[in-house]
Chain A
Amino acid sequence: MRTRTGEGAGAGRRRGRAPRLRPHPFGLRTRLVLAFLLVAAVGCGTTAALTYRAARNAILEQAQNTAVSAFREQVDELYVSLPVSPESLRTDLLRIARQGKPRPWRVYAEYGTVRVSSTDRPASSVITPELRARAQARGASPHAGFQRVVKNGTPYLTIAVPAVFRTHATEGTARPTGLVVYAVMELNEEEADVEAMVTAARDGALPALAVALVPALLAARGVLRPVRELRHAAHSMGRGRLDTRIHAKGSDELSDLARTFNESAAALERSVAELRSAEARARRFASDVSHELRTPLAGMLAVTEVLDEDAGSLDSDTARAVRLISAETGKLAVLVEDLMEISRFDARAAELHTDEVDAADCVRKTLQHRHWTDPARVVPHLAEGIRARLDPRRFDVVVANLVGNALRHGEAPVTVRLYAEGDVLVTEVSDRGPGIDPEVLPHVFDRFYKADRARTRSEGSGLGLAITLENVRLHGGTVTAANRPEGGAVFTVRTPL
């Protein structure tokens, strides 16, 4: 039948759970992994390229050197008789071609316009004019010229060696005969070897990249876990759990960050605790003061009647003084009671004693009890038959404060409307006064707020609307103040049914 609701219970919990981790398409993890892979790929690629070049050169040079020196030897042994007889030269060329190293050559000889070859065709299409020019120019030199040529996708090594006379009189010097012998050798096999190396490099690089993923993910995790912890901790702090700390271990930058976070959190917790205790002290002081005032007031209030009754028989000055004391004692008692009530709200000690009641009955009794029964002053429009769960005493305070406020600051008639809107009970108190100054409107529920600064005291305690607000909140409802378009102020209370 009756519930006791601690104020603010679960308010913190409602504020929100930890937000789900949003997927970051280019988050730290992705970037770290990509960076790792890039470094690995560049490393693999560079190594492979350098190895490839070195190996390729070694293979080709070896084949080339073998071929050049072998050909040179062959040509040196060639016994050239001038004028050139194509038939005998061809026989020689065929012999040289057969002895080709490391593979058989095709051999061509050129002397003036004479073209002789070891093959069917007299001249080769892979011998470039450049090589030919070099061979002619170098007529005096016994050294061979060579060139690598690619034709129709097939790589060739072409070598040109000019045939020379060797005169015994002038030793060491050789005179060109004008005959140039060319050898053409396919480099297919060497090329295939190189191809195989490229394939091997590629086949080695891909697993290496895959293997690089593992440390990349591990490193990403190592970085991301502290980051995630930090994020959770920061969120938890944001929700008010100031005792949140991160487990900081290790000596890297992230653990430094964690330690800094912990130190800041501890500092924040300390200052918040200090603030809270200062606030609690201030509140306790207000509560204690009211408590202490209450006892002397209880004695004074009990005798005000005596003062009022006997005032008539005193001389006029004494009588006025006595009446003043009596009246002010009554106001002081109200003020102290209101202060006590506010202190209880501040200390969250206010309890809700709910009961299921007829809402219209409840409002009607409030009006009757305060003698607000003159229809020229207060007009009730109460929807009948609404049963609501509320604290009758607190609801009485809410309605009485709003109507009392409207009568004091607005103008009669004051209309009290009560109706249900879905599962919300709406209580509306409106007056026909000038309304509330828009500048004052946001402050009407403030404690001791005076609309007119020049007026030092109003009839009420100055806490009525603040207490109204707290009572409505305790019911889990809202209260708003506004000005009606047709004039006058309207206060609207919405409480759950």
Chain B
Amino acid sequence: MPRVLLIEDDPSVREGVELGLRRRGHEVRTAPTGEAGLAALGEFRPDLLLLDLMLPGMNGVQVCRRVREDSQLPIIMLTARGDDFDVVVGLEAGADDYIVKPARTEVIEARIRAVLRRIEDPGAGRSAVEVHGELAIDRAGLTVARAGERIALAPSEMKLLLHLSAAPEQVFSRQQLLEHVWEHSYHGDARLVDACVRRLRNKIEDVPGEPRYIQTLRGFGYRFGPL
């Protein structure tokens, strides 16, 4: 069962979520502040980080940035709906998904599973390494290299790239990507897709402003190529 690190300042939420997840078999460690959470990271080695955005002292977005500096640990933000600006900033900082509080444990667990599933499911039955222009995608080893140099991708970025490149030149709407990559409903938040595309472009495109690999089709969605 996945090991989850929960950083949440409110004791009742912290305890409630911990209790709920532990009942479902997760190994949960909690921290009341960002600083304490970062300290627990190295020692606890979680599979996933559940991160409240509103934290005293170091806030969730800062924690998210710090984690992303040297790790591709899956991160799910806990937010309150209406904190729209925080959601966008959090996604830009590298979070893979977010959950609106209050949420039932089953919802939280479903999200955790969805985020983790991308890593475990490498789209089997294809040749190990695909080459698209300067981009080499190893579907089995889950690595991506540009011009021979390995690129570190967050789980959502990796899953999105694998999904798009599996069907080059096919257009996917935001809603389709939300359903398939994030396992959200059709009516989920399309900003997840946009933020992830931006982050991915910054890493794999030569000129992020003029993307070759992840192209936008105005009014329809995104596609991989044509190169």
Question: CA of A351 to CA of B81 in the docked complex: distance in angstroms?
Answer: 12
B187 x A355 contact (CB < 8 A): no
A73 on the B face (CB < 8 A): no
Closest to A329 in B: B102
A302 x B108 contact (CB < 8 A): yes
Question: CA of A306 to CA of B186 in the docked complex: distance in angstroms?
Answer: 29
Chain A residues with CB under 8 A of B159: none
Question: CA of A393 to CA of B87 in the docked complex: distance in angstroms?
Answer: 16
Q: Within the complex, which residue of B19, B103, B174 is in contact with A355, where a contact is CB–CB below 8 Å?
A: B174
Q: Within the complex, which residue of A2, A341, A369, A392 is in contact with B194, where a contact is CB–CB below 8 Å?
A: A2
Given A299-B16, A340-B82, A351-B84, A305-B187 contact (CB < 8 Å): no
> Which of A12-20, A85-93, A178-186, A289-297 touches B?
A289-297
From residue 357 to 404 of chain A, which have CB atoms closer than 8 A to chain B?
A: 357, 361-362, 365-366, 369, 387, 392-393, 395-396
B145 on the A face (CB < 8 A): no
Chain A residues with CB under 8 A of B84: 351
B187 x A393 contact (CB < 8 A): yes
Q: Within the complex, which residue of B10, B106, B186 is in contact with A305, where a contact is CB–CB below 8 Å?
A: B106
Closest to B100 in A: A337
Closest to A369 in B: B185
B188 on the A face (CB < 8 A): yes
Chain B residues with CB under 8 A of A365: 175, 185-187
Question: CA of A353 to CA of B187 in the docked complex: distance in angstroms?
Answer: 11
A197 on the B face (CB < 8 A): no
Minimum CB–CB distance from B47 to chain A (whole Å) comes to 20
B209 on the A face (CB < 8 A): no
Given A2-B194, A369-B186, A392-B190, A302-B103 contact (CB < 8 Å): yes
B187 x A396 contact (CB < 8 A): yes
Question: CA of A259 to CA of B217 in the docked complex: distance in angstroms?
Answer: 61
B191 on the A face (CB < 8 A): yes
Chain A residues with CB under 8 A of B15: 299
B190 x A303 contact (CB < 8 A): no
Minimum CB–CB distance from A183 to chain B (whole Å) comes to 116
Most chain A CB within 10 A, of B23, B190, B191, is at: B190
From residue 54 to 106 of chain B, which have CB atoms closer than 8 A to chain A?
A: 80-82, 84, 101-106
A300 on the B face (CB < 8 A): yes
A441 on the B face (CB < 8 A): no
Chain A residues with CB under 8 A of B101: 294-295, 298
A298 x B10 contact (CB < 8 A): yes
User: Binary interface profile of A, 294-318, with partner B (CB < 8 Å = 1, else 0)?
Assistant: 1111111111111001000000000
B190 x A2 contact (CB < 8 A): yes
Question: CA of A302 to CA of B81 in the docked complex: distance in angstroms?
Answer: 17
B219 on the A face (CB < 8 A): yes
Closest to A337 in B: B81
From residue 267 to 299 of chain A, which have CB atoms closer than 8 A to chain B?
A: 291, 294-299
Q: Within the complex, which residue of A1, A295, A333 is in contact with B218, where a contact is CB–CB below 8 Å?
A: A1
Minimum CB–CB distance from A422 to chain B (whole Å) comes to 20
Question: CA of A291 to CA of B80 in the docked complex: distance in angstroms?
Answer: 9
B44 on the A face (CB < 8 A): no
Question: CA of A351 to CA of B84 in the docked complex: distance in angstroms?
Answer: 9
B110 on the A face (CB < 8 A): no
From residue 206 to 227 of chain B, which have CB atoms closer than 8 A to chain A?
A: 216, 218-220
Given A1-B219, A294-B80, A303-B19 contact (CB < 8 Å): yes
Closest to A365 in B: B186
Question: CA of A144 to CA of B84 in the docked complex: distance in angstroms?
Answer: 119
From residue 169 to 211 of chain B, which have CB atoms closer than 8 A to chain A?
A: 173-175, 185-191, 194
Q: Within the complex, which residue of A295, A330, A340, A395 is in contact with B81, where a contact is CB–CB below 8 Å?
A: A340
A356 on the B face (CB < 8 A): yes
Chain B residues with CB under 8 A of A387: 219
Given A291-B80, A298-B13, A365-B187, A305-B218 contact (CB < 8 Å): no
Minimum CB–CB distance from B111 to chain A (whole Å) comes to 13
Minimum CB–CB distance from A496 to chain B (whole Å) comes to 16
Minimum CB–CB distance from B112 to chain A (whole Å) comes to 13
A101 on the B face (CB < 8 A): no
A349 on the B face (CB < 8 A): yes
Question: CA of A298 to CA of B186 in the docked complex: distance in angstroms?
Answer: 25
Chain B residues with CB under 8 A of A299: 10, 12-17, 102
A392 x B80 contact (CB < 8 A): no
User: Binary interface profile of B, 105-142, with partner A (CB < 8 Å = 1, else 0)?
Assistant: 11010000000000000000000000000000000000
A29 on the B face (CB < 8 A): no
B20 on the A face (CB < 8 A): yes
Chain B residues with CB under 8 A of A369: 185-187
A103 on the B face (CB < 8 A): no
B80 x A301 contact (CB < 8 A): no
Question: CA of A357 to CA of B220 in the docked complex: distance in angstroms?
Answer: 8
A232 on the B face (CB < 8 A): no
Chain B residues with CB under 8 A of A306: 19-20, 23
Question: CA of A236 to CA of B124 in the docked complex: distance in angstroms?
Answer: 69
Chain A residues with CB under 8 A of B104: 301-302, 304-305, 330
Minimum CB–CB distance from B84 to chain A (whole Å) comes to 6
Interchain residue pairs with CB less than 8 A apart (23): A1-B194, A1-B216, A294-B101, A295-B12, A298-B12, A298-B13, A298-B17, A299-B16, A299-B102, A300-B16, A302-B17, A302-B102, A302-B103, A305-B20, A305-B23, A309-B23, A337-B81, A337-B102, A349-B82, A365-B187, A366-B186, A369-B185, A369-B187
- Known contacts A1-B219, A396-B186, then 11 further A-B pairs from the complex at CB < 8 Å, ordered by chain A residue: A1-B216, A294-B101, A297-B102, A298-B17, A298-B103, A306-B19, A337-B102, A341-B81, A353-B190, A355-B174, A396-B185
Nearest 7 Cβ contacts at the A-B interface = A299-B12, A299-B16, A302-B16, A365-B186, A298-B102, A396-B187, A298-B101
- A residues contacting B by CB (< 8 A) are 1-2, 291, 294-306, 309, 330, 333, 336-337, 340-341, 344, 349, 351, 353, 355-357, 361-362, 365-366, 369, 387, 392-393, 395-396
